A = this chain, B = another copy of it.
Amino acid sequence: MSKPTLKTVAVVGTGVIGRSWILVFARAGCQTRIFDQDPQQVKKAMIWLDNFFAQDVKERFMTASEAKRQKKRVSVHTSLEETLKGAEYIQESGPERLDIKRSLFASLDKASEQMAIIASSTSTLDIEEIAAGLRGKARCITAHPFNPPHVLPAVEMMPTRNGDPAVFEAAAEFMKSIGQKPVRMNYFVTGYLANRIQAAVVREALHLVNKGVADVEAVDTVISEALGLRWALFGNFGTNHTNADQGIREYYARYSQAYKDLMNDLDPTLPPFDPEMIERIGKGVDVMMGPSSVADLCRWRDRMVRKIRSLKEQNPRP
């Protein structure tokens, strides 16, 4: 990882997303100033951080002294004003409600350093509305991480409509410098990019099970033992590109009719999401997962994702 292009950051809101951001910033070498209106949330986040470091040291992802160094970069503050002192980048991770985000952004705009970038972790709202009417609107951006950001590097970013291009550029550069993978959305669409793609998969996966073509485990297996193994390396277009000797132009030209037929055959109606369907899928998942708890599965997933990412770092794409 290179050196962070911004040295001092503030994390405002320290719930599940905020606490993971703390880890991302502290790991990268940033002075990380944290605040939550609810002191209990800060306490919980600090305990979570301590557990995380202890576990990481135990599993030899990092040394004890490295954990100590990272932890020392985190400072807890008791007022928003104090938290924002010297912060060049602010990551807001408050509740996902427009009214709350609007009033929080108004406070951030007032209390922060004039040049600070103000980024929201929002996953569903439009930054245009969150920052509407603020004097500092041009320095506001969306920086939506995946959960948790210390494991999954992609960050969906969007400027405001007349936002300062230099702000967006600096924020994207900063994300790269701390090891995240920023992607730019040019305008707001429901679900941004990833949740739309995920919804497309959920929709077809549900249809296949609802119609009795296959069971839950079969649908998941073709993903985890085939499609997903490629998608962890290339995305959609990269995968299409490597599916024909001459690349994506040949692939689409050759298979465009097959794809049209296939897409026409995908079910256009929505899955019902009624209790019966949810229970049917739930039972399929019970069979597939056996007695493992969700917490255990998540721990395994996060550990494995980190190993896959480190494989990718050690073996960069040609």
The residues of A with any CB-CB pair to B shorter than 8 Å are 124, 146-147, 152-154, 156, 181, 183-187, 189-191, 193-205, 208, 211-238, 240-249, 252-253, 256, 258-266, 268, 270-271, 273, 277-279, 281-282, 284-285, 288-289, 292, 294-301, 303-305, 307-309, 311-312, 315, 317-318
B311 contacts A152, C-beta separation under 8 Å: no
- The residues of B that contact A187 with a CB separation of less than 8 Å are 212-213
B205 contacts A237, C-beta separation under 8 Å: yes
A310 to B218 Cα, complex, angstroms? 21
A307 contacts B311, C-beta separation under 8 Å: yes
A185 contacts B200, C-beta separation under 8 Å: no
A304 to B208 Cα, complex, angstroms? 29
A199 contacts B259, C-beta separation under 8 Å: yes
- The residues of B that contact A211 with a CB separation of less than 8 Å are 189
A270 contacts B260, C-beta separation under 8 Å: yes
- The residues of B that contact A233 with a CB separation of less than 8 Å are 224, 228, 300-301, 304-305
A154 to B218 Cα, complex, angstroms? 9
- The residues of B that contact A154 with a CB separation of less than 8 Å are 221-222, 225-226
A225 to B238 Cα, complex, angstroms? 13
A138 to B317 Cα, complex, angstroms? 46
B262 contacts A195, C-beta separation under 8 Å: yes
A308 contacts B305, C-beta separation under 8 Å: no
- The residues of B that contact A271 with a CB separation of less than 8 Å are 263
Given A232-B228, A252-B281, A292-B318: A219 and B202 within 8 A (CB)? Answer: no
B231 contacts A231, C-beta separation under 8 Å: yes
A231 contacts B234, C-beta separation under 8 Å: no
- The residues of B that contact A273 with a CB separation of less than 8 Å are 252, 256, 259-260
B219 contacts A224, C-beta separation under 8 Å: no
- The residues of B that contact A252 with a CB separation of less than 8 Å are 273, 277-278, 281
A156 to B215 Cα, complex, angstroms? 12
Partner of A219, one of B237, B259, B268, B288: B237
Given A228-B231, A308-B311: A220 and B201 within 8 A (CB)? Answer: no
Partner of A297, one of B199, B203, B238, B285: B238
